[in-house]
Structure 1
Amino acid sequence: MRVLLVEDDIALAQGLQQSLRREGYSIDCVHDGKSALLAISAGSVEMVILDLGLPDMDGLQVLKQAKAKYKQLPILILTARDSSDDKVEGLDYGADDYLVKPFDMAELFARLRVIERRLGTADSARITHNNVILDTKANQVFLDGEAVSFSRREYMIVKSLMENIGRIQSKEQLENKLYEWGEEVASNTIEVHVHHVRKKLPKDFIKTVRGVGYIVSKR
């Protein structure tokens, strides 16, 4: 999943980026409100983690403007503002969740998983299809009860397809989930990743929809 982190504390932003990447997210980071709105308008952001104390504008204004144009874009507020009034205001402006600093990383990850489940087809942290299990909490895939080893990006492909069982994921959609701004992506990169993933999963588990993308079918 492609996440935009909006955080002006550079040290905290760097730590969050590293932790979120380890959890399988692709992270783009900006440090002010105007840059956040530009990034959101570019169209490849799937979720936003938003600080409210930004240097150029209040984060609530970023939230309000983003939600006015992109109502379905999930936004989690991550802020030091801890009063009930602040929380109510943020949620009333359209935030999908509100987490106060200092926070526990495990709780942040859990809240992000809840938002992801709202976006996809999964209704729990474990998705089972045929004899394959995806555990999004453990970031692990099991085949016939045995753990399967994937690289980070291979895992992200499996996760994206299994969270959208029955829905085609285009090459462009997968690239947006896997790669961050500025990363060079070869024309056949997704095909190579899918090829490696297929070797580790049952035959025909991932199907190619020629000229469109890939799918894990419901049957």
Structure 2
Amino acid sequence: MENKRRRVPALAPEERRAALIDATIPLLHEHGVDVSTRQIAQAAGVAEGTIFGVFETKSSLVVCSVIKALDPEETVAALTAIDRSRPLRERLATAAELIHARFRENAQLMTAARKLVITGELPRQMIANREILHAALTEVITEGADQLRRPPAAVASLLLLFCGANTYGPFGDPDNFSGEETVSLLLDGLLRRGTQ
């Protein structure tokens, strides 16, 4: 008797959407929004037409993929896990390292997101993600906030600003500007101690 190849059962539409999004994210890191539907289909192991069975356009798939890739859940969990009994400077340095890592990892995706027509769900989700990240970072700072001249939310905003400028700005140096250095700049400024 001849062995017949068994067909893999078809995925439900939501499972197919998820699989296509998962296959698209690494391609966006590599190619940005110039990724082709052929590349996506190959990575997902499906026919190119399958994409359009669950997404209206390539752009809608790209937007959904960027939204998932920029989800802050993993970074928020790591921020939440920072031991609040550690000194404020140490907590902030750890938080800065986490934020730097997140921004470095997603730099290509942020560039891709800026190239997309920014309407609909993507800008709303990006704003919501920023607010979630800001709230988690503020919580890290709250214990010991009496040592600071500014409220925890303002300090969180400044730390995010420094990390963002260091990753995305034209004068950034993410490889040589550690979380500890970022926090030193934020807490101590640039003057050497004992100078005016």
Relative to the length of structure 2, the TM-score reads 0.28
**Whose helix proportion is higher, 1 or 2?**
2
Structure showing greater Rg:
2
Relative to the length of structure 1, the TM-score reads 0.26
